[in-house]
Structure 1
Amino acid sequence: MLRLSQSSFTLAFLTFLTSTLLWASVISHQLQEECEFDYIGGSNKGPTKWGAIKREWANCNYGKMQSPIDLSTKTIQVVNSMGQLNKRYIPFGAILKNRGHDVSVGWEGNAGSIEINGTQYFLKQTHWHSPSEHTINGKRYDLELHVVHQSSNPNAKYPLAVVSFLYEIGPPDSFLSKVSREIKELSHGKKDQMKLGSINPNEIRRGGINYYRYVGSLTVPPCTEGVIWSINKQIGTVSQEQVMLLRSVVEHCAEKNARPIQPLNGRQVVQLYDPNP
């Protein structure tokens, strides 16, 4: 009788274990299906496969001006008299969004613009990547903020301009602190977006008068090329808690949402001085 009970227990345990493993496999598959693309090495939706997922994403694999890149100070040309970032930002209503692969703050109307080499680019949205996507002399930082602008001229040579800020662990970032409460609400799964009211873009970390500049692409599919990148040379600080908060909101496949470094392919990178930081 005891032997029968032990056999029954063993059978029940094996049945439970098999069911648990099967359920875990189903959940894992469902989570993977939720991610249109991911950052997981070896995944069939990972960065090396992005260009094959959709035809319109082909640039991700075959483009010659892709981002991010490593900013090697050994090869960067210093320029002191061109390419200033003339900023004219104004407060406007904004929306916080969980886009699955990142957290973004987008402005609902005209929140101002920047001007680069005579072309005006209007502020659209800002979002975070952790760890940083761009590296400096091979060093990857803890966080990167992208401030995305778009030209209203359909014939502009470079239709997009992104200003980027790099961060290392230290005191909290003030702009992130301003929206942390709302980000926490997103992390609890209550909403995937919410209105923030009026947000002044000038509250985004500025500082520093030196930028690295080159022409590249968006760092997420469809990896559109023709983007003017301006990466602030001054490194800001962000708390570990803020980085973890951003990671807690997005899909599991994008918790570390940094695209690998892309080949420079002969592109010129300059370091420029901006007298209007």
Structure 2
Amino acid sequence: MNTATITKMLFISFAFLSSAFLARSGEVDDESEFSYDENAENGPANWGNIHPNWIKCKTGKMQSPIDFPNNKVEIVSNLGILQKSYKPSNATLLNRGHDIMLRWDDGGFLKINGTQYRLKQVHWHTPSEHTINGKRFDMEGHLVHETNDGKTIAVIGILYEIGLFPDLFLTMIEKDLEALRLADQKAIGINHPNLIKIDEKRYYRYMGSLTVPPCTENVIWTIDGKTKTVTRRQIQLLRDVVHDGFEYNARPIQQLNGRTIKLNKPWLFA
């Protein structure tokens, strides 16, 4: 066997292993094999039966989203201010079919317990996936971060209610969102993640999973403790752009299974 053949085989093996790892850890971009219709064969209750590497959707004990019941939440004041270091970056909007995602080339990082998680993307769910004391909100945004090796994920969730005031970030990209009606992706140039407003002092923290297949666990979840506002028109725009059947793309609430939920609430800022 010559050197060229060996090199080619090594490259193919590396590519296969890389794609397999991404399938295990990252969100699925192709929505054709799953749906949010609870009565469908490929609905949320059956995600774990569709592919072997989606088994955590069925067997996992740390699944997301969850409800935050008042009687289960532990109020603490020692988690600290969120250590965000975001920066302007080239960004691209993508229509993944089941949701709309904005991906940054290099949007900075979030630091949790001394570990850096690179900011990768933000996407939106309507209605919200997480609930607070049983209350579901009109929209939820997810800022997704990963360690440099891609093995650990941290997500910041932001809850929105329909109100008089639009969301500033969505206002900035409305024309680009409308362009996705005719294309699957659109480069939008420099975009600053800090335009997405987050309360850095008051937030929920728990260990969970991705909310879409493959439902990878050990995801560090941080949910903003203060609800933001969005207009009905902005929510409708996100729903109009996604593929038919994914206008409502929230996974049902999962069992808590004894997990700890903390609410960081510094007393000076309560």
So what's the TM-score if we normalise by structure 1? Answer: 0.82
Displacement of 1:139: 0.4
- Any idea what SS the aligned residue of 2:177 has? helix
Return closer, same or farther for 1:86/1:34 CA change in 2, 3 Å cut-off.
closer
Displacement of 1:79: 1.3
Counterpart contact for 1:35–1:253, Cα < 8 Å: no
Note the residue ranges of structure 1 that are not aligned, 5 or more in a row.
Answer: 1-32
The 4+ residue runs of structure 1 with deviation greater than 4 A are none
5 Å-filtered alignment, 1:2-21, equals none
- Any idea what SS the aligned residue of 1:77 has? strand
Note the residue ranges of structure 2 that are not aligned, 5 or more in a row.
Answer: 1-29
Alignment partners' CA distance in 1, 2:31 and 2:139: 24
Q: Which residue of 1 aligns with 2:217?
A: 225
Read off the aligned partner of 2:190 and give its amino acid letter: S
Displacement of 1:207: 3.4
Q: Which residue of 1 aligns with 2:174?
A: 180
Counterpart contact for 2:82–2:200, Cα < 8 Å: no
RMSD: 1.8
Q: Which residue of 2 aligns with 1:53?
A: 50
Q: Which residue of 2 aligns with 1:42?
A: 39
5 Å-filtered alignment, 1:145-184, equals 145-153=141-149, 159-170=152-163, 171-184=165-178
Displacement of 1:271: 0.5
1:115 lines up with 2:108 in the alignment = no
Q: What number of residue pairs does the alignment pair up?
A: 238
Read off the aligned partner of 2:208 and give its amino acid letter: G
1:241 lines up with 2:233 in the alignment = yes
- Any idea what SS the aligned residue of 1:74 has? helix
Task: Determine which structure has more spread, i.e. the larger CA radius of gyration.
Answer: 1
Query: Is the deviation greater in 72-81 or in 212-221?
Result: 72-81
So what's the TM-score if we normalise by structure 2? Answer: 0.85
Return closer, same or farther for 1:208/1:112 CA change in 2, 3 Å cut-off.
closer
Q: Which residue of 1 aligns with 2:19?
A: none
Read off the aligned partner of 1:132 and give its amino acid letter: S
- Any idea what SS the aligned residue of 1:253 has? coil
Alignment partners' CA distance in 2, 1:34 and 1:151: 25
Alignment partners' CA distance in 2, 1:207 and 1:70: 20
Alignment partners' CA distance in 1, 2:31 and 2:140: 24
